């Protein structure tokens, strides 16, 4: 009898495959409150690596980490009308605490523009205090009506950057730098996802912003996922909170601001971009475990050799785990590591020892081959880089193959059934965008004719990328 597949095949039911993989690879569980999630150690390890890679880039961009309270007085949100209107349906509001009704309800942080501006107004006094560049790693709550683990949850983890600048140009350039040099570099060169960098339409931009820059990734089923955003806030929040600085004389000027963030949604994007019917495939530069060394049998010599190999690989800078749990069948352990997407498996048994070789299994391209044990430490770094490049190439090839140029709304809808459509924004416009929305298709972003990020919303030659989205 043929062995039943561990996962539902992607082609049969992509959403079910996604949920199967999260469960079988031990990434997360549903939390006790609808829409929440429990991130399991292996899944959290992916998030930790994302944090580490991003945190270094954020600090290189000049921002410092801080922390602000998760409870926000309700009246803070009412100061910026567009902001509160945009978030009102998603707010969680606390009205009772300490055994009595609160004098003023408090909102559980959906994002921190309002509370951070309350303190920016205190901290910024003169031009010498600018730019003020702050980032925080935190959780946020947005009451989600259609939750999906990692993609849309009531509570999720993220980083949110908030900055204040002396001029519009400085703020604009900083938001753009975060968009390209921090997020774009990370997603392309670490996550291995060929994201499209673009500008949101007025309808899709962040509530309270004058411009939103986005990074859109094509998932394995052809849908789009917004992987991160960087916003120009203009002076909207500065005017609401009276965040000003003194010029050379007595005159005061409102600051110009940005905010930007990415979240645990990136874990979902990683799964749906690179996963296959055998499980997850983790990009080597991201992987908390780049190689696992497995003992096939509990022979003392085998156990000693796999531990020796593990130590050699660690010394060579390869993040390695030794799996010598020979009381668990080898086949089961191999499948578990394949599900988790560890890039390389080095399998060692008694016959391998006699030959001085190990069986190298490459998760990303697939396949196995015997390799000299003595050559492993020198050979594997190059293989990991090859496999990293392969994931990015496959991501790019999928996006290019499933993106078509279209001219009408009907063609947009047809393209979005299997991938993305590209249509002139001059031909589509806000009216066409609204008609697409009625059919579940959205304008993910605008790109310039040459594929770069447009410098303005109404720039001649802008192209709209349309798709169904998560």
Q: What is the pLDDT of residues 429-444, one digit of tens each?
A: 999 999 999 999 999 9
* 107 lies in the same domain as 25: yes
Determine the average pLDDT of the residues in 256-270.
98
Q: How many structural domains compose the chain?
A: 3
Given a cut of 80, whether residue 249 has pLDDT beyond it is no
Question: pLDDT tens digit string along 219-229?
Answer: 999 999 999 99
Task: Please report whether residue 1 resides in a domain.
Answer: no
Closest CA to 132 of 227, 37, 34, 66: 66
C-beta of residue 269 within 8 angstroms of C-beta of residue 183: no
Lookup: tokens for 319: 């993040």
Task: Please report whether residue 42 resides in a domain.
Answer: yes
Given a cut of 60, whether residue 2 has pLDDT beyond it is no
Length of the chain: 470
Mean pLDDT of the chain: 95
Closest CA to 19 of 213, 272, 259: 272
- Within 8 A by CB and 6+ apart from 170, the residues are 131, 256
Give the CB-side neighbour count of residue 280, counting CA atoms within 13 A. 32
- The residues pairing with 424 across neighbouring beta strands, listed in sequence order, are 463
* Helix (H/G/I), strand (E/B), else coil: 185: helix
* 161 lies in the same domain as 220: yes
Task: Please report whether residue 5 resides in a domain.
Answer: no
* 333 lies in the same domain as 433: no
The residue behind tokens 């279209």 is 406
Question: pLDDT tens digit string along 382-405?
Answer: 999 999 999 999 999 999 999 999
Q: How confident is the model at residue 294 (pLDDT cuts 50, 70, 90)?
A: very high
Q: What is the CATH number of the domain that holds 449?
A: 3.30.110
Question: pLDDT tens digit string along 77-136?
Answer: 888 777 777 788 889 999 999 999 999 999 999 999 999 999 999 999 999 999 999 999
Closest CA to 253 of 262, 245, 242, 265: 245
Given a cut of 90, whether residue 286 has pLDDT beyond it is yes
Given a cut of 60, whether residue 180 has pLDDT beyond it is yes
- The residues pairing with 259 across neighbouring beta strands, listed in sequence order, are 162, 231
pLDDT score for 1: 37
Question: pLDDT tens digit string along 19-71?
Answer: 999 999 999 999 999 999 999 999 999 999 999 999 999 999 999 999 999 99
Task: Please report whether residue 394 resides in a domain.
Answer: no
Closest CA to 265 of 179, 149, 110: 149
Task: Please report whether residue 417 resides in a domain.
Answer: yes
CA distance 432 to 426: 10
Q: What is the CATH number of the domain that holds 358?
A: 3.40.50.800
- Within 8 A by CB and 6+ apart from 358, the residues are 293, 309, 346, 347, 348, 352, 370, 371, 373, 376
Lookup: tokens for 366: 């697939």
List of E strands, 219-367: 224-234, 244-246, 252-254, 256-263, 291-295, 320-323, 344-348, 357-362
C-beta of residue 58 within 8 angstroms of C-beta of residue 262: no
C-beta of residue 8 within 8 angstroms of C-beta of residue 16: yes
* 206 lies in the same domain as 331: no
- The residues pairing with 348 across neighbouring beta strands, listed in sequence order, are 295
* 265 lies in the same domain as 125: yes
* 77 lies in the same domain as 184: yes
Domain limits at 451? 402-467
Closest CA to 352 of 289, 292, 290, 297: 297
Task: Please report whether residue 452 resides in a domain.
Answer: yes
Range in 78-92, 179-193, 320-334, 365-379 with the lowest mean pLDDT: 78-92
pLDDT score for 6: 86
Determine the average pLDDT of the residues in 409-433.
97
* 224 lies in the same domain as 297: no
CA distance 173 to 318: 37
Cis check for the bond before 300: say yes or no (omega within 30 of 0): no
Asked which of 222, 241, 274 is the last residue of a domain, the reply is 274
C-beta of residue 377 within 8 angstroms of C-beta of residue 326: no
Determine the average pLDDT of the residues in 273-293.
98
Q: What is the CATH number of the domain that holds 267?
A: 3.30.930.10
* Helix (H/G/I), strand (E/B), else coil: 231: strand
Lookup: tokens for 47: 């998030």
* 225 lies in the same domain as 298: no
Asked which of 241, 274, 307 is the last residue of a domain, the reply is 274
Given a cut of 90, whether residue 377 has pLDDT beyond it is yes
Range in 82-96, 329-343, 351-365 with the lowest mean pLDDT: 82-96
CA distance 236 to 85: 14
* 243 lies in the same domain as 162: yes
* 270 lies in the same domain as 295: no
* 259 lies in the same domain as 316: no
Asked which of 217, 244, 274 is the last residue of a domain, the reply is 274
CA distance 60 to 413: 42
Task: Please report whether residue 32 resides in a domain.
Answer: yes
Given a cut of 90, whether residue 453 has pLDDT beyond it is yes
* 341 lies in the same domain as 431: no
Task: Please report whether residue 280 resides in a domain.
Answer: no
- Within 8 A by CB and 6+ apart from 437, the residues are none
Residues of the chain with pLDDT > 70, as a percent, come to 99
- Produce one character per residue of 332-342: b if its CB has 16 or more CB atoms within 10 Å, e if not: ebbebbbbbbb
């Amino acid at each position: 009898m043929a062995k039943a597949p561990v996962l539902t095949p992607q082609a049969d039911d992509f959403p079910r495959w996604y949920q199967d993989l999260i469960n079988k690879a031990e990434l997360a569980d549903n939390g006790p409150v609808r829409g929440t999630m429990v991130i399991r150690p292996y899944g959290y390890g992916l998030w930790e690596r994302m944090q580490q890679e991003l945190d270094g880039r954020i600090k290189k961009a000049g921002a410092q980490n801080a922390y602000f309270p998760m409870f926000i007085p309700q009246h803070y949100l009412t100061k910026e009308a567009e902001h509160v209107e945009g978030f009102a349906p998603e707010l969680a509001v606390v009205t009772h605490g300490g055994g009595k009704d609160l004098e003023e309800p408090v909102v559980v942080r959906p994002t921190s523009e309002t509370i951070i501006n309350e303190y920016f107004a205190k901290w910024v006094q003169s031009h010498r205090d600018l730019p003020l560049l702050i980032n925080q790693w935190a959780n946020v709550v947005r009451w989600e009506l259609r939750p999906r683990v990692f993609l849309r949850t009531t509570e999720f983890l993220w980083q949110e950057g908030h900055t204040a600048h002396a001029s519009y140009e400085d703020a604009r350039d900083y938001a753009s730098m975060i968009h390209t040099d921090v997020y774009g570099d990370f997603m392309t060169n670490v996550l291995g996802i060929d994201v499209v960098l673009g500008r949101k339409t007025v309808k899709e931009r962040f509530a309270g912003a004058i411009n939103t820059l986005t990074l859109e990734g094509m998932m394995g089923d052809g849908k789009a996922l917004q992987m991160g955003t960087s916003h120009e806030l203009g002076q909207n929040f500065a005017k609401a909170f009276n965040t000003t600085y003194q010029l050379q004389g007595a005159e005061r000027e409102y600051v110009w601001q940005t905010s930007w963030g990415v979240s645990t949604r990136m874990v979902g994007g990683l799964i749906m971009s690179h996963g296959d019917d055998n499980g997850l495939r983790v990009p080597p530069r991201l992987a908390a475990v780049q190689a696992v060394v497995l003992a096939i049998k509990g022979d003392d010599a085998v156990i000693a050799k796999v531990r020796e190999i593990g130590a050699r690989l660690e010394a060579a800078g390869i993040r390695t785990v030794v799996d010598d749990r020979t009381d668990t069948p080898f086949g089961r352990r191999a499948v578990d590591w394949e599900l988790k997407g560890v890039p390389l498996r080095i399998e060692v048994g008694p016959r391998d020892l006699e030959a001085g070789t190990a069986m190298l299994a490459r998760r990303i391209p697939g396949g196995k081959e015997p390799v000299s044990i003595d050559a492993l430490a020198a050979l594997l770094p190059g293989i990991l880089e090859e496999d990293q490049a392969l994931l990015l190439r496959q991501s790019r090839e999928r996006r290019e193959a499933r993106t078509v140029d279209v001219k009408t709304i009907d063609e947009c809808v047809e393209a979005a059934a299997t991938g993305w459509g590209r249509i002139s924004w001059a031909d589509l416009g806000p009216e066409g965008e609204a008609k697409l929305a009625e059919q579940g298709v959205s304008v993910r972003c605008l790109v310039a004719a040459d594929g770069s990020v447009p410098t303005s919303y109404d720039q001649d030659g802008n192209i709209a990328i349309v798709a169904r989205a998560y």
